[in-house]
Amino acid sequence: MNLIVTRAGFQTTIQDLGRTGFRQFGVSSGGALDLHALRIANLLTGNDKNAAGLEFTQGNVRLRFDDERIIGWCGGDYEVCVASHSIPRGHSALVLAEDELSISGPRQGWRGWLAVSGGVAVPPVLGSCSTDLRANFGGLDGRALRDGDKLLLGDQSDFARSLIDLLNERHVSSWSSPAEWSSTAKTKPILRIVRGCDWDRFNASTHHALTSETFSVSPDSDRMGVRFNALELHRNDDVDLVSEAVAPGTIQVPPGGRPILLLGDCQTIGGYPKIAHVITIDLSIAAQLRSGETVRFQEISLPEAHRLLFEREQELERFRIGLSLKNK
């Protein structure tokens, strides 16, 4: 029934798909920084897509289970082991009562999402189980997990129970989700962007720099946003802008010229110019960026961004149907 956190690691939080309807009050959408990865992990474990799972950062996590569960995980390049079995990303795997699950430090990437059949059962706050670390609510007492925390797990679905029977012998599924969805850390990644409404406040050489230079990730990045070093982007004007909506993916440029790419826990409004926005499907890659890494931006059109998202959703639906055939 429980999941015991023997080692919480650098920053492990309870997250689901985030909050909707509370931006008007200044509450971030929050949720897993890679919403798609959590959806896949939930699918692999027979959970509802919005079930709460764990987002870990920098690994070095150990968890102990009270009873039999199905787990699945996606994200950076980590070694995840249960007993003597190595559990690759994007697979369904069986854990037995008293089993310990260990997550190594990252070989590549930064974050990972672990789903457990039944989900982590914490009371939803403002419609979500996600932990809001800035305002300290949701998840477990609004904070990151600590060593010794005991998390109640929810009831497993019938599908999860049939997966337990199915994986009785081999422990790790032969099937897996597409690697592109489960393994999101990349070397020198390229993030695709669409233009922001303040694009024209920057001159042509800045546009050129944004889409041709490399940007290095600064250590002061967190769940609110990825900050970049060195390269400075300068505006044509110095008009004081009225604060208006920003969203995960927004690239804003404060007066110093060092751009910030906003992530799930970002504030709801901002007064810095929005030069561009990383497209939704590439936020999976953005969630893996760690200090010192370099990234490039590539401009695409808005219809192209929508087409890519729509195609991924159709592919996800096919994967969901394929997986459901495993149900007895």
* Residue ranges in contact with another protein by CB under 8 A: 20-28, 125-126, 132, 134-138, 142, 194, 196-197, 242-247, 249-250, 267-269, 274, 277-280, 302-303, 305-307, 309-310, 313
- Whole-number Cα distances in Å, 68 to 38, 96, 121, 327: 21, 4, 16, 17
Furthest CA-CA distance within the chain: 66
Task: Tell me the three state secondary structure of residue 120.
Answer: strand
Dihedral of CA 227/229/231/234: which sign?
Answer: positive
* Residue whose CB is less far from another protein, 148 or 178: 178
Cα separation, 17 vs 32, in Å, equals: 6
Helices marked H in the chain — which ranges? 35-44, 158-166, 179-182, 204-212, 283-286, 302-324
DSSP 8-state class, residue 230: S
Burial 17-38 (b: 16+ CB within 10 A, else e): bbbeeeeeeebbbbbbbbbbbb
Rounded Cα–Cα distance for residues 190 and 9 (Å): 28
Q: 242 burial class (0-12, 13-18, 19+ CB within 10 angstroms)?
A: exposed
Tell me if 271 sits within 8 A of 254, measured CB to CB. Answer: no
Which tokens sit at 140?
A: 């477990």
Three-state SS for 41? helix
**Residue 192: both structure tokens together:** 């695709």
Burial 129-168 (b: 16+ CB within 10 A, else e): bbbbbbeebbbbeeebbeeebebebbebbebbbebbebbe
